[in-house]
Amino acid sequence: MCLRFPRVYSIAKNKSAIVYHSGVWIYEKWLWKVDWRRALFEWEHGEVFGLISLLEGETISLGFVDQWVWKADEDGGYTVSSTYKCLSMSEVGTYGSMYEVFWSIKGLPYSMTTAWRVLVDRLSTHANLERRGILVESNLCVL
């Protein structure tokens, strides 16, 4: 929610709520109910509608325990090895030989890490911070 709907995420009351606390069962039908810190502005209703439309596409089953599921593992449980496999596959698939060439270069670790973050657009610039829902008040830094 914080990446796809940053504005409504910023005004949600409980940002870490589980599904069980984010709606109600009425006549065996799940209805989403998100609490806001304040009344919504008119222009925010469209983003809320998009969020609710996305949520309604998910299946909620009565009688099941609400829990996290790690899709990278067959059992749905999180393991370090499944994370390593997932990251290894995505990095090579996404960056290909650039990944191998870049990390074979000899350089200071801090400089190499910063350069890598620039290449994969993970440097904390104004644009990246805003995309993640972090508001930066200062305009002194151009990044």
Q: Express each pLDDT in 57-81 by its tens digit.
A: 777 777 777 777 788 788 878 888 7
Q: Where are the beta strands (DSSP E) in the chain?
A: 23-26, 29-32
pTM of the model: 0.42
Q: Locate the domains of the chain by residue range.
A: 6-56, 80-131
pLDDT over 80 (residue 109) = yes
pLDDT (tens digit per residue) in 32-60:
888 888 988 888 888 888 888 887 777 77
Report d(CA 6, CA 39) in Å as an integer: 16
What integer pLDDT is reported at residue 8 of this predicted model?
83
Q: Residue 105: CB partners within 8 Å, gap ≥ 6?
A: 112
What integer pLDDT is reported at residue 107 of this predicted model?
82
